[in-house]
Amino acid sequence: MREIVLDTETTGFEPGEGDRIVEIGAVELMNHVATGRTYHQYINPERSMPADAFAVHGLGDEFLADKPVFKEVGQAFLDFIADDKLVIHNAAFDMKFLSAELEWMGLAPLPMERAVDTLAIARRKFPGSPASLDALCRRFGIDNSNRTLHGALLDSEILAEVYLELIGGRQPGMMLEAASRASGPSASDWRPSPRPRPLPSRVTPAEAERHAAFVAGLGEDAVWSTVTS
């Protein structure tokens, strides 16, 4: 099962008022294990970056001026997320911006049914408790010390850890996809293959001799005496 943990940074709160996406970050999970594949893109919002947004994201007009506009990267973003579930904190916010940007390209919006909202999960699981990403990091002991500014890729990586804790820790689907770094549907079929040659024994001759002497001292009825090497 493939999922995409996703975050966006924007110039403001409402695409209907002219606000735009300035950054997208996404992390691929396969059977609840990070594969190492990511998507990260800064975007020229084609408008001035408000001072309050700059204070939050640290992205200014000069930095964004030479970045591509959304219509130049929108298809690459769609190719990365494919048709898989999107894991987002406060999903309604990011989804409305992504859908608006896609519609301005003349493409179909993203249906909300694709989104898994970790904010909603946290509120159901811990009613009445703070459910911000920072609060959940504190609850689960996740290191977010690098989060001095909001950055889409860093937030996605942190959210991936939070999401795994919210759904029951890091046990589900531990199939070593991360080690294989495979991508696409075939990754779920990966299994470890037998070693071509057995690992050599790390027992030294002196240790083997001492062990044999110890077993001999236990007597003929000892369990160890019935075990062959």
Active site positions, annotated? 150
Q: Return d(Cα 15, Cα 5) in angstroms, integer.
A: 22
CB-side exposure of 105: number of CA atoms within 13 Å? 20
Q: Strand, helix or coil at 193?
A: coil
Angle between helices 70-81 and 91-104 (to 10 degrees): 120
What is the Cα Rg of the chain in Å?
25
